[in-house]
């Protein structure tokens, strides 16, 4: 199997799993997934500049960024939030398991053995970075939930134009006079 095929599979195949999720759920978790991608891209760019890793076999058009940042990462973020939202402990345990696989197998062993990437960081250090990344995106989602709740509470009042107000009963007005 060619390296390009592997990298394109990591970029495209995960998105196909979203067909098994309700449309509303995908829309609900997409903002945090996009935030995770932006944050991972920034972390990846910093890592490239500092020489922590280097892509030896880039996949067009991704250049130095690994395609899994745009395939596996957002989709796993969506699935993880679907099953663990509101339970921070379970979320961090799930992320720890996924990050151990990502750092110890994918980044430290599989991708370097295929000649795709040079990884010059200890998997334990990378695990700390990815766990911090997970905590930050969880905080972002909590902030989003707070913003959404405030928006819903502002719009929950049943405001109607004056034309829809009921007419006063004239018989009650006559009794007062």
Count: domains in the chain: 1
In a domain, 22, yes or no: yes
pLDDT tens string 73-85: 999 999 999 999 9
Q: What is the pLDDT of residue 154?
A: 57
In a domain, 152, yes or no: no
Average pLDDT of span 19-37: 95
Cα–Cα distances in angstroms (integers) from residue 89 to residues 124, 126, 165, 174, in the given order: 20, 20, 50, 66
Q: What values do phi and psi take at 155, rounded to 5?
A: -100, 5
Is a pLDDT exceeding 80 seen at residue 29?
yes
pLDDT, greater one: 32 or 170: 32
In a domain, 165, yes or no: no
Structural domain boundaries enclosing 129:
3-144
pLDDT band at 42 (very low <50, low <70, confident <90, very high): very high
pLDDT tens string 103-161: 999 888 998 898 888 889 999 999 999 999 999 999 999 999 887 666 655 555 555 56
In a domain, 170, yes or no: no
Structure tokens at 45: 């760019």
Q: Are the beta carbons of 15 and 108 closer than 8 angstroms?
A: no
In a domain, 50, yes or no: yes
pLDDT band at 22 (very low <50, low <70, confident <90, very high): very high
Q: Give the other-Cβ count within 10 Å of 165's Cβ.
A: 8
């Amino acid at each position: 199997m060619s390296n390009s095929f592997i990298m394109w599979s990591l970029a495209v195949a995960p998105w196909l799993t979203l067909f098994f999720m309700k449309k509303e759920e995908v829309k609900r978790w997409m903002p945090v997934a996009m935030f995770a991608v932006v944050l991972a891209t920034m972390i990846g760019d910093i890592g490239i500049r500092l020489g922590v890793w280097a892509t030896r076999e880039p996949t067009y058009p991704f250049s130095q960024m690994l395609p899994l940042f745009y395939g596996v990462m957002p989709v796993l973020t969506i699935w993880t939030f679907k099953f663990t939202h509101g339970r921070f402990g379970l979320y961090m345990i799930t992320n720890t398991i996924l990050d151990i696989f990502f750092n110890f197998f994918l980044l430290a062993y599989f991708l370097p053995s295929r000649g795709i990437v040079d990884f010059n960081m200890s998997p334990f250090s990378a695990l700390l970075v990815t766990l911090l990344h997970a905590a930050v995106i969880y905080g972002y989602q909590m902030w989003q939930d707070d913003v959404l709740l405030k928006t819903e509470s502002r719009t929950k009042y049943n405001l109607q134009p004056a034309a829809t107000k009921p007419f006063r009963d004239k018989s009650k007005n006559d009794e007062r006079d």
